Amino acid sequence: MRLLVPSLGRRKMSARVRLDVATAGLSVVWLALAAVPMRAQTCANSDLVVRNAKIVVMDDSGRIAEAIAVRATRISAVGTNQEIAACISPSTRVIDAQGRTILPGLIDVHTHGLEWAKGVVRNQIDAAYPAMKSISEVVAEVSKRAKSQKPGEWIVGAGWDDGKYSDRRYILKSDIDPVSGDHPVYLSHVSGHLAIANSAALKLAAVTRDTPNPSGGIIEHDAQGEPTGILKDNAMELVSHLLPADPPDLPARAAKYLSEQALSFGLTTIHDISLLPDDIRGYQQAANAGWLKLRVQMVPLVRNIADAQTLAASGWFTGFGNDRLKIGGAKMFADGGMAARTIAIYPPPAAGESDNFGLLIWTPEDMQKAHRILAAAGWQLITHAIGDRAMDEVLDSYAAASKALNLTDPRFRIDHGGISTPAIQKRLKEQHVIVDGNPPFVYWIGGWFRKYGPERVRWSYPGKSYITNGVIAAAGSDVPVTPLTPWWGVWAAVVRRELTTGEILAPEERLTIREALTLYTRNGAYAGFEEKSKGSLEPGKLADFIVVDRDVLAVPSDELKDVQVLMTFVGGELCYQKR
């Protein structure tokens, strides 16, 4: 009996099985006869049936099915073509998948999706690799816009990346000034920790050679003491606050664009991390307008104890909302980033930085206070930690909150978990803390891992050891840090090739294709408290599934990044179809 049925049907079936045992010898025949009326009862009048498929169910058994039936928004049955034939009535829409592979809709638990989409909707320059590969390409685009835009209008862009550009250096105002005329120009770096402003922008901001560094920021100067245009961390604000304000409907339009793009890649759920109030408003407006087909968990940013108190006092907490749009966890930062050399590590330091052990953003006391305030109010905790020292601080704080509040299943999460040593993994398992890992980082920014030494490369963004050590890991693109498509991540988790050298980083951490898919399905569902409704194609769950153009379980590993999604169903509705 390969047909999966909802719980009512399953209870009936087991009663019949017990009956058959008493009439030994006839049971096989009896079950075969009994199966037809049972199916008719549980999946009759399904609205949609997709058959002739290779359905990767992603349940515990690892089975493959041929057909899936949907009633309203949920899966009513999964089984063989023959079994699911009983679910078809004259009003059922039947789709022949022609042997294509079907997977559960994919889940990305760490995106800055709306932030990325706002940049596209604003039509700002997309300088991210591989859209652009050198400073001269950026300069050419600025020049083009300077000629076509109104005099004095801002030229804005994001995503430039000295780590991948052929020049291997920062863009400077001296690169931009010759082509930008009277247009102020502001281009932020892919890391989000620095930006380049041209002379016109610095002039508007009244930044001169005498302007002191703001607290927590650096204005870079050349050998003659002139600002180079590079502004780091809090110094970015000197110029960025002058950028033109977005029209009020921009976040909602960005949410629509994000939804369309995500569905085209096979994502049916994302968690959008570090949201501000305008973004949350935009998501609600998009949902009200019917533009949001993608399911979204909104994760607000907590920068200090006052923010934690505000969220706790709001009365909202994790899980509020509906299947389309809901409140997710609360996000904090424990340390910085690898590109900025601010991750908090234990000795030894990174090459050439003898006294740099990174940055802990919170004191342990304040972090514990904020975590406890939020957890007591019902918030799932999601904390960014890349260095091992930062992860220990977060794990200490999570342990304190769980103990003080006597929490049984809080599913606290660590974002990134960049340097996840065996000692850290032991703690993750013992405390049942989930890692929101980033498989695509191995490819896109794996070059940064090496700066921290070979021993750390071994434990940077691991895969297999999480499984062997019993740690639950989900996956995120961190878009715009890496592209929104999850297929680069699935591929990188299996192959672990680094972009700049082609080297395989920590080959012992490579996953099988099925294991990589688990990060993006079941484990993503679990991280969002949604394992009862998502993550596998079992009856009773939401009918979120995708049809892809090749047999992902059998293709050569290198093809995984090229997988094309042909159809995306969300709650049984066909929301994307490749033309």
Residues contributing to the site for Zn ion (CB under 5 A): 478
Rounded to the nearest whole angstrom, what is the least distance from the CB of residue 368 to Zn ion in the complex? 23
Which residue, 160 or 576, has its beta carbon nearer to Zn ion? 160
Pairing of the two strands 565-570 and 101-104: unpaired
Rounded to the nearest whole angstrom, what is the least distance from the CB of residue 343 to Zn ion in the complex? 13
User: Half-sphere exposure (CA, 13 Å, Cβ side) for 142?
Assistant: 30
Which residue, 68 or 190, has its beta carbon nearer to Zn ion? 190
CA-based nearest residue to 407, from 274, 303, 318, 308 = 318
Which residue, 46 or 269, has its beta carbon nearer to Zn ion? 269
Rounded to the nearest whole angstrom, what is the least distance from the CB of residue 283 to Zn ion in the complex? 17
Which residue, 228 or 477, has its beta carbon nearer to Zn ion? 477
3-state secondary structure of 268: strand
- Cα torsion angle, 117, 121, 127, 130, sign: positive
Q: At what angle do helices 27-43 and 7-22 cross, to 10 degrees?
A: 160
Task: Enter the tokens of residue 129.
Answer: 């690799």
Rounded to the nearest whole angstrom, what is the least distance from the CB of residue 385 to Zn ion in the complex? 12
Which residue, 47 or 478, has its beta carbon nearer to Zn ion? 478
The DSSP line for 324-360 is SEEE--EEEESS--TTTT----PSSPPTT-TT-----
In the chain, what's the furthest Cα-to-Cα distance?
96
**Token pair 């918030």: residue:** 379
Which residue, 175 or 478, has its beta carbon nearer to Zn ion? 478
Residues pairing with 64 in the sheet = 56
Which residue, 441 or 569, has its beta carbon nearer to Zn ion? 441
Task: Enter the tokens of residue 479.
Answer: 């878009």
Rounded to the nearest whole angstrom, what is the least distance from the CB of residue 111 to Zn ion in the complex? 8
Which residue, 88 or 273, has its beta carbon nearer to Zn ion? 273
Rounded to the nearest whole angstrom, what is the least distance from the CB of residue 116 to Zn ion in the complex? 11
Rounded to the nearest whole angstrom, what is the least distance from the CB of residue 118 to Zn ion in the complex? 15
Q: How far apart are CA 357 and CA 351, in angstroms?
A: 11
Phi and psi at residue 263, to the nearest 5°:
-65, -35
Which residue, 327 or 332, has its beta carbon nearer to Zn ion? 332
Task: Enter the tokens of residue 374.
Answer: 């939020």
Please give the helix or strand (H or E) that residue 16 lies within, else none: helix 7-22
Give the neighbor-by-neighbor strand order of the sheet with 217-221.
Answer: 125-126, 155-160, 185-189, 194-197, 227-233, 217-221
The DSSP line for 85-104 is HTT--TT-EEEE-TT-EEEE
Rounded to the nearest whole angstrom, what is the least distance from the CB of residue 192 to Zn ion in the complex? 8
Which residue, 197 or 258, has its beta carbon nearer to Zn ion? 258
Q: What are the counts of helices (DSSP H) followed by strands (DSSP E) for the chain?
A: 21, 25
Q: Where are the alpha helices (DSSP H) in 275-405?
A: 277-288, 305-314, 364-376, 388-405
Pairing of the two strands 227-233 and 217-221: antiparallel
User: Half-sphere exposure (CA, 13 Å, Cβ side) for 312?
Assistant: 16
Which residue, 13 or 391, has its beta carbon nearer to Zn ion? 391
153-166 b/e with 16+ CB inside 10 Å = b? Answer: ebbbbbbbbbbbbe
Which residue, 336 or 539, has its beta carbon nearer to Zn ion? 336
3-state secondary structure of 484: coil
Rounded to the nearest whole angstrom, what is the least distance from the CB of residue 228 to Zn ion in the complex? 27
Rounded to the nearest whole angstrom, what is the least distance from the CB of residue 407 to Zn ion in the complex? 25
Which residue, 160 or 569, has its beta carbon nearer to Zn ion? 160
Q: Taking CB positions, which residue lies at the least distance from Zn ion?
A: 478
3-state secondary structure of 569: strand
Q: How far apart are CA 120 and CA 381, in angstroms?
A: 30
Rounded to the nearest whole angstrom, what is the least distance from the CB of residue 240 to Zn ion in the complex? 18
Burial class (CB in 10 A: 0-12, 13-18, 19+), 49: buried
- Considering just the CA atoms, what is the radius of gyration of the chain in Å? 26
Which residue, 195 or 542, has its beta carbon nearer to Zn ion? 195
Rounded to the nearest whole angstrom, what is the least distance from the CB of residue 107 to Zn ion in the complex? 16
Q: How far apart are CA 416 and CA 424, in angstroms?
A: 13
Which residue, 66 or 478, has its beta carbon nearer to Zn ion? 478
Rounded to the nearest whole angstrom, what is the least distance from the CB of residue 36 to Zn ion in the complex? 51
Rounded to the nearest whole angstrom, what is the least distance from the CB of residue 112 to Zn ion in the complex? 6
Rounded to the nearest whole angstrom, what is the least distance from the CB of residue 484 to Zn ion in the complex? 13
